[in-house]
Structure 1
């Protein structure tokens, strides 16, 4: 049984809750997760891929974003989304939704984006979107819609973008009311069944549509006989499956058209020519999958348009570019030939493109930098990524003096000559990542004075020489991260005074390598070989002490053998650090002072390590910590959180550890916690976890991510069951019932204690002593022991004179009885209790010489208790009472058994004997001679029987 109800422990979390509670924060949901957000006013709920058949009823009412995509919901009813008044985004894609009740979205007054893509909707009814007056984006693509009510979109007075692509719409007249929407700017009708698009089918004078997409339709006719699209600037007609009859009676009908996408092998050259001849204001042209039409001279036709500036020829299977292909395109500023199969370009193929500013030749099969780009002095951006370029000569970028961005990512470059970049004085961004460069030949010591970003990620660097980058004083980002380490000169980064982001994979560490990087804010340190920590044994070991402005540090190790010994001064000097990520780095226990140098730390991630315990003191120096990730370690207990003073912690992740029992008390010490991830832990479904089980379901501040999907690992009978489903009723005692039982028992105990104290306290005291006699008797009793004495005399020391002067001369001297006296016959060295027991059970009788002193003696009391117990236990007449004084019965009340004996048995009184002592001693003789019997055999003679 468990009962938790300590008031002090309860008041602390309650007070913290009252101080930090925010009604916008959420709790653990059964089928959904609330995505963590720095903005407490934005509650993003995701129920993606949960095999749901109905919309959950526990979605927080203050949710602003809801993702229910990829489930098995087939219907949305009027009440499913009724209580979500703050929702601005709803994702209902990849469902099996076939029906939406009228007014299903009526209560979503603030909804701006609604995604219903990839469902089974067949029609759009009158009031399906009723109440969505603020809706801006509506996606109904990839459904089976063949019918749309004429008033379906009437209430969407704020709609700007509508996507009806990939449906079964056939007639423009069926969707004519859509064009009347006053705010609609973009309409997507691609991949439907439209065979014609004619302005005569649109019963309106003016539409505000700016972008119209009609791709992948079997269009046979496109006709504009009136000025219905005065604001149209983008038109897409690519991949149409039939030849188009183009009828635009007046060029001014397309006077605002600036972007046109064409494509498809079914459209004739003449049709394309007709299209292009009616677009005098065209600035951007996207012809795709048109290799045959390009060979027929389509590019020449397009470049006759004086306003054309951007020509995108990607995905046209162009293998080579000769001198004539782009000869007429002298006004082009942006040219893309990417994603073709381009392997060569003639030297003069770009000769006439003297105004070219942006050239994209990426994702082709070029083996060298084309000679055609030389001399293009207006070029600002050049993309040669994802080709097969292996070498860069000194003239590769000759005269590209205005080039600001150069992308050589993912080629086969192994060596770069020192003269390659010497004339690129305006270059700001250089990407040489994913190549095979192994050394530099003074490449960055000449030119590149304005370079701000240099990407050398994942090359084959062998070493970095001194001052390799010293000329790059404007560099802000440098990526030197590799799969293998390289040697670095301690002055490799000298001169990079403005560097803010650095990624390196050093083969060793030297503190001096960071000298001068005072502006560095982000550092990624990737260790692939043993990190040489020459200073690790020094008392003042501080590898990052030269980085006072560093805000983000990432330490990655991919081999446990490479993990260095961590010194408590590892982070010394990082007074501005806000985020620390260590991957497989801290594999031993951390020193309590590890973070004493990083008081501004807000994000701490220690993952994929071997940690099983942390001390609370570790977090005392980082009072501003907000996010803590300790995933994939070996933690079993949360106890260290209890004294960690993590008052600002909001996000806590322990994914992939070894927790079986979760201490909810430790979690209650985190008053600001709103996000807790304990996925992939072997939780036990027993009473030891009942507190956490109840906390997950009842707390209204902290969301336990996927808490309702946690699985039991123990015991075997519960394995595989849901953690929150195990029965906890047997683990709890109702607090009210417990208080009732406790208070009742307390009252009864008080009454009984008062009763016994007032009426039976002496009886209880005597019973206590009698019980002790029983214990002694059971332990030391000698029922079969031989009788050594006729009588054991029990007396007090104050009566010793009478015993020696009066009793012994008569009983031993005259009558010849053998008596046992404790002063004379007890065995020295033996415990007194054993002597008493042996004397009583070694004598036929026990004579008690009773006086007031006798009653006050502890040992005399024990002797008579032992003798009286023998009397009643053996039912033998073994006890003789000799009263030396007249003692009233009330004075015998402390000895309840003695009082009972006096009431029931005969006793002898010395005061009553007076001058007739002979009769007194004769009665004693007769008592000693009397054998034991099973019944009382009172002694007759000179006696007094008192009631």
Structure 2
């Protein structure tokens, strides 16, 4: 009895296991394919099996057949006779070049058909091929045309009987129109013209290209080598809701302006990413472009990676009040008069002005872009100290200004932005957060990673505490040179307290570096211990002892002050060089990374970017160290400076009155001077940008000027000799 009981138990367990496997995995045997049930639909997955025909082993109740990536060259009349219930058929990326007339004759249930990525010629598609597919709603025919045959036309006769078709994907044909047969497709609302491997080559769109497609609501023409669009080309599409012309970089904003001329008022989304040459300079969005959108229902605009510099003054005022989301990432905006017009866009909820994600600024060679430019002041958005450009955007919820090389801004830049939920200012050159956030009652995310922040002020942390009393917040300060010093102890202690309360998240603390000095740092993953250790080391001495020591040292300090001041730059140089492990070497034994380190004031950036870098890097094949491009983010600036001087053959000083007002510019100059004195190599080369009285010039610079280590920049007349001399000096 016991043996019989055990056998029955094992049998039950085996049957239960089979049942569990069947329920969990729903697998069925249909080799060489994998078959399974999904929500009542039987699916056969035969993709990438090197098959040249559909297997006869598939059950006749199969609803979906995935057959992509095989070796089928011909679809015969009997290819699908055993699976008449198909609703979805994917034959993409085979080698189909021939489809017999009755191949789809028994597939009246089919709703989705993909023939993309084959070798089909549109002219060979029979007019009766799809006549029984009365329920077909989605058809992919793109990635088939790979020929220059001028006789190829869009397959009007073959498609016109698909009365239920809503979505069509086709290849773009040069100088061809969608013929009158397409007018019978009164359910066709989605048209995508797109091909991989640059097969799409429409080149232009005329007034007749889409004349017989009046019901379209969503049009995508992506990466089709578009050069020209006739004005009013989409005037027949009275219900158009979205238009995507992205990745046609010869189209330009002029082409899009033609496309939107007379466009339907129903337009809600315009997508025009990368519609200019990747080396275009000084791209301006005009009033005409914005006027064409004025009477639309536009809510979303994408114009990323178009190297836009400015909007024409007054242009923004023509954009519709319905506009809520604007994505302008990867452009090159400069602060100009157009910012005053931003106040007219009162409906904005999301603004993404994120700049370049890569470390190096995208300085182009003018020789790479043969186009006349009327703009003479093209820079990356950096100094926006002029005021309150966003003050009227009280409905804005997301603002992304990341990677714009911002180093200066107005304290009232974000005033009145009470609806803001996300503020992203990562990967800039911001040294302090000095704007008011107390009015941002809805702020959930403050993204400040990758800047130059040593910490936050007490006023700022107090505001964060008040906001976090109402909701949780994320404050990301990673990849900043946080200071692990006694002076910064209140900020670090605040981080511990805020973290313990659980109202403010600082993200992954293992991505935070905390610097004890110029070189030594620690990861903040054990924040509490680091703060506890700092509390111990920063304990004050008794007052009377401090007073006694202070009085005893007064005389000594007085005597030493004059000596320290006199040799301050020498001492700083020796300190930084020793700290960072740089040793004095003879010039002949030194290998330099850069031909020159360019030291200049922010006010002289235009000259450096638009003239100096072009002449020396692009045209003379030199390698320059440009601090906003080549300094290592998150590293103390003094470290970056001494490294730049040491690894560059020369230090090229762009001398102006503004240069002499800048603390860090003078610091760079003095470090270069000390390098010259200590190593004996000829380091400094000065370009005099303007006349400066000698009493305003430091003694060290006068020494180099008197020893002829300088060039005068010609404000007028011939500059050829200047550039020739400068290049010669740097190559000596």
- 1:687: how far off? 2.3
Question: Is the 8 Å Cα contact of residues 390 and 413 (structure 2) preserved in structure 1?
Answer: yes
Aligned counterparts, 1:626-775, within 5 A? 626-641=421-436, 645-663=439-457, 665-670=459-464, 671-673=466-468, 674-699=473-498, 700=501, 701-713=503-515, 715-716=517-518, 718-719=520-521, 721-722=523-524, 724=526, 727-729=530-532, 731-732=534-535
Selected match of 2:251 from 433, 442, 461: 461
Number of the residue aligned with 1:603: 398
Change (3 A) 1:443 1:173: farther
Change (3 A) 1:649 1:372: same
Number of the residue aligned with 1:919: none
C-alpha distance in 2, partners of 1:334/1:526? 33
Flag the structure with higher helix content: 2
1:759-804 CA distance string (max 9 Å, x none): xxxxxxxxxxxxxxxxxxxxxxxxxxxxxxxxxxxxxxxxxxxxxx
- 1:733: how far off? 6.4
Question: Is the 8 Å Cα contact of residues 273 and 301 (structure 1) preserved in structure 2?
Answer: no
Number of the residue aligned with 1:433: 222
C-alpha distance in 1, partners of 2:57/2:259? 61
Question: Is the 8 Å Cα contact of residues 287 and 318 (structure 2) preserved in structure 1?
Answer: no
C-alpha distance in 1, partners of 2:259/2:123? 38
Number of the residue aligned with 1:825: none
1:720-751 CA distance string (max 9 Å, x none): 6557467444643699x999x99x99xxxxxx
Q: Secondary structure of the equivalent of 1:359?
A: strand
Task: Report whether the alignment pairs 1:574 with 2:366.
Answer: no
Task: Report whether the alignment pairs 1:516 with 2:294.
Answer: yes
1:4-29 CA distance string (max 9 Å, x none): xxxxxxxxxxxxxxxxxxxxxxxxxx
Change (3 A) 1:264 1:724: closer
Task: Report whether the alignment pairs 1:319 with 2:97.
Answer: yes
Task: Report whether the alignment pairs 1:548 with 2:290.
Answer: no
Question: Is the 8 Å Cα contact of residues 274 and 305 (structure 2) preserved in structure 1?
Answer: no
Q: Secondary structure of the equivalent of 2:142?
A: coil
Change (3 A) 1:399 1:178: same
C-alpha distance in 2, partners of 1:174/1:382? 46
Number of the residue aligned with 1:498: none
Change (3 A) 1:372 1:657: same
C-alpha distance in 2, partners of 1:399/1:568? 45
C-alpha distance in 1, partners of 2:48/2:429? 59
Change (3 A) 1:259 1:518: closer
Change (3 A) 1:653 1:274: closer
Question: Is the 8 Å Cα contact of residues 150 and 175 (structure 1) preserved in structure 2?
Answer: no
Change (3 A) 1:567 1:448: closer
Question: Is the 8 Å Cα contact of residues 394 and 417 (structure 2) preserved in structure 1?
Answer: yes
C-alpha distance in 2, partners of 1:322/1:542? 56
Task: Report whether the alignment pairs 1:393 with 2:235.
Answer: no
Change (3 A) 1:532 1:478: closer
1:401-435 CA distance string (max 9 Å, x none): 32222111242211233223212122222211211
Change (3 A) 1:528 1:352: closer
1:607-635 CA distance string (max 9 Å, x none): 22233344443334223322211112211
Number of the residue aligned with 2:194: 409
Q: Secondary structure of the equivalent of 1:669?
A: helix
C-alpha distance in 1, partners of 2:28/2:174? 41
Change (3 A) 1:722 1:696: same
Change (3 A) 1:596 1:511: farther
C-alpha distance in 2, partners of 1:714/1:262? 61
1:188-232 CA distance string (max 9 Å, x none): 3xxxxxxxxxxxxxxxxxxxxxx546688899xx9xxxxxxxxx8
Selected match of 1:176 from 7, 18, 26: 18
Q: Secondary structure of the equivalent of 2:423?
A: strand
Selected match of 2:140 from 338, 350, 360: 360
Q: Secondary structure of the equivalent of 1:299?
A: coil
C-alpha distance in 2, partners of 1:636/1:358? 54
TM-score normalised by the chain length of structure 1: 0.44
Change (3 A) 1:420 1:319: same
- 1:461: how far off? 2.0
Question: Is the 8 Å Cα contact of residues 212 and 234 (structure 1) preserved in structure 2?
Answer: no
Change (3 A) 1:328 1:601: closer
Number of the residue aligned with 1:423: 212
Question: Is the 8 Å Cα contact of residues 580 and 605 (structure 1) preserved in structure 2?
Answer: yes
- 1:692: how far off? 3.0
Aligned counterparts, 1:252-263, within 5 A? 258-262=42-46
Question: Is the 8 Å Cα contact of residues 506 and 527 (structure 1) preserved in structure 2?
Answer: no
Question: Is the 8 Å Cα contact of residues 631 and 655 (structure 1) preserved in structure 2?
Answer: yes
Q: Secondary structure of the equivalent of 1:691?
A: helix
Change (3 A) 1:590 1:399: same
Q: Secondary structure of the equivalent of 2:56?
A: helix
Number of the residue aligned with 2:158: 373
- 1:653: how far off? 0.8
C-alpha distance in 1, partners of 2:68/2:155? 23
C-alpha distance in 2, partners of 1:265/1:545? 56
Change (3 A) 1:621 1:216: farther
- 1:575: how far off? 2.5
TM-score normalised by the chain length of structure 2: 0.56
Change (3 A) 1:512 1:260: closer
Change (3 A) 1:353 1:260: farther
C-alpha distance in 2, partners of 1:433/1:343? 21
Number of the residue aligned with 2:649: none
Question: Is the 8 Å Cα contact of residues 330 and 353 (structure 1) preserved in structure 2?
Answer: no
- 1:596: how far off? 2.8
C-alpha distance in 2, partners of 1:265/1:289? 8
Number of the residue aligned with 2:414: 619
Change (3 A) 1:311 1:552: closer
Report which of the two structures shows the higher radius of gyration computed on alpha carbons: 1
Q: Secondary structure of the equivalent of 1:572?
A: helix
Change (3 A) 1:718 1:662: farther
- 1:320: how far off? 3.2
Question: Is the 8 Å Cα contact of residues 329 and 353 (structure 1) preserved in structure 2?
Answer: no
C-alpha distance in 2, partners of 1:689/1:216? 68
C-alpha distance in 2, partners of 1:364/1:519? 36
- 1:651: how far off? 0.9
Question: Is the 8 Å Cα contact of residues 579 and 604 (structure 1) preserved in structure 2?
Answer: yes
Question: Is the 8 Å Cα contact of residues 662 and 692 (structure 1) preserved in structure 2?
Answer: yes
C-alpha distance in 1, partners of 2:97/2:461? 64
Task: Report whether the alignment pairs 1:482 with 2:274.
Answer: yes
Residue segments in structure 2 that go unaligned for 5+ positions in a row? 1-8, 356-379, 546-732
